Amino acid sequence: MEQTIPTPETGEILRRRSLTDEVYDFLSDKIIAGKYISGDWLRQDDISLALGVSQTPVREALDRLVASGLAERVPYRGVRVPLLKPDEIVDAFLLRLVLETTAARLAAITITLNDIQALDQLIDQTANMMSLDEMSKLRRINKQFHFGIVEAAGNSLLNKLYEMTTNAFPDWMLYEYMFRHPELLQSSLKNEYLEHKAIVHALFSRDPEAASFQVANHIKNLWRGLQTNLDISGDSIKEIENQIKAMFPNHNLSH
């Protein structure tokens, strides 16, 4: 968290980031970059020693990683990069699809022009992010973008349900996957940018149906990307496709 503090000598405002923020960013960058992989333990003592900081900011950063879905806490053993079961990811994907498309419908009616401009500005920040070094920053901006859509719907309970769901849907693995397959980087990021732009355009047009469709299309494309990185059977994928068609019978969301 950024802290704002006045200096007593001049009254000027200085800005500094806490050690917890620094440790959190360091660890999340390593996870997204594939330096830590699923199942790796994030040992508090080792991290504290390696970074030359006390255990307090490390412990707080680990708590934030768990809350964000980038890590999981195992009772009596510690914190590790998540080992997510395919069925858990499938459930999270389907629930996210329902919640975020619902939020998009509501947001198309309630969103303010200032909120639309803020979303568009977030997308513009990602327009030229085409290097592997920028993946962790890109992920944070994208998360802010999607939460912005849900918040614009104006339903606090929906916000809470969505946060719980996104923590279980490991879209961060897409960025980790691109670190291992840089040949996919530019095309994937360009498609993501265009999909985000289409969502904002639908919101600006005050079109609930179009907003819902664009969000559904984008989330399903995230799912397609995860399929290449996860051990999910063909039968499970077919079942998911059928459920999507049942939820969105008038949308052409097929491959």
pTM of the shown model: 0.74
How many Cβ atoms are within 10 Å of 65's Cβ, its own excluded? 22
Residues for the chain: how many in total? 255
Which of the four pLDDT bands, split at 50, 70 and 90, describes residue 233? low
Same domain, 93 and 16: no
Q: Is 2 helix (H, G, I), strand (E, B) or coil?
A: strand
DSSP state of 61: H
The per-residue pLDDT for 104 is: 97
Single-letter code of the amino acid located at 66: V
Tokens 């498309």 belong to residue: 101
Tell me: do 55 and 70 sit in the same domain: yes
The amino acid that residue 14 corresponds to is L
> Same domain for 105 and 153?
yes
Query: Both 61 and 111 in a single domain?
Result: no
Tokens standing for residue 201: 């355009």
Statement: residue 203 has pLDDT above 50: yes
Residue 19 identity (one-letter amino acid): L
> 14 and 118: one domain?
no
- Which has more pLDDT, 166 or 156? 156
Confidence of residue 248 (pLDDT cuts 50, 70, 90): low
58, 26 in Cβ contact below 8 A? no
Asked if residue 15 belongs to a domain, the reply is yes
254 within domain boundaries: no
> Which tokens go with 21?
């923020």
Average pLDDT estimate for 95-107:
94
Provide the terminal-to-terminal Cα distance of the chain, rounded to the nearest Å. Answer: 41
- 34 or 222: which carries more pLDDT confidence? 222
**Could you say which of 57, 80, 103 is where a domain stops?**
80
Q: What is the mean pLDDT of residues 235-242?
A: 67
| Backbone torsion region of residue 223, taken as left when φ is above 0, otherwise alpha when ψ lies between -120 and 50, otherwise beta | alpha
**Rounded CA separation 97/77 (Å):** 33
Residues 14 and 140 in one domain: no
2-6 and 72-74 strand pairing: unpaired
According to the model, what pLDDT value does residue 255 have?
45
Same-domain check for residues 218 and 131: yes
Separation of alpha carbons 64 and 82, rounded Å: 14
Q: Provide the CATH number for the domain around residue 118.
A: 1.20.120.530
Looking at the structure, tell me whether residues 132 and 38 fall in a common domain: no
Same domain, 23 and 100: no
Predicted pLDDT at 5: 33
44 and 158 share a domain? no
Q: Are residues 16 and 134 in the same domain?
A: no
Render pLDDT for 3-33 as a digit per residue (tens, 0 to 9): 333 334 434 333 457 899 999 989 988 887 7
Residue range of the domain that includes 37: 2-80
HEC string for 4-32: EEECCCCCCEEEEECHHHHHHHHHHHHHH
d(CA 33, CA 95): 27
d(CA 47, CA 31): 14
Q: Which two tokens stand for residue 190?
A: 């360009």
- The highest-confidence range among 120-134, 158-172, 189-203, 230-244, by mean pLDDT, is 189-203
Q: What whole-number distance in Å separates Cα of residue 255 and Cα of residue 252?
A: 9
**What CA dihedral angle connects 226, 233, 220 and 241, to 10 degrees?**
180
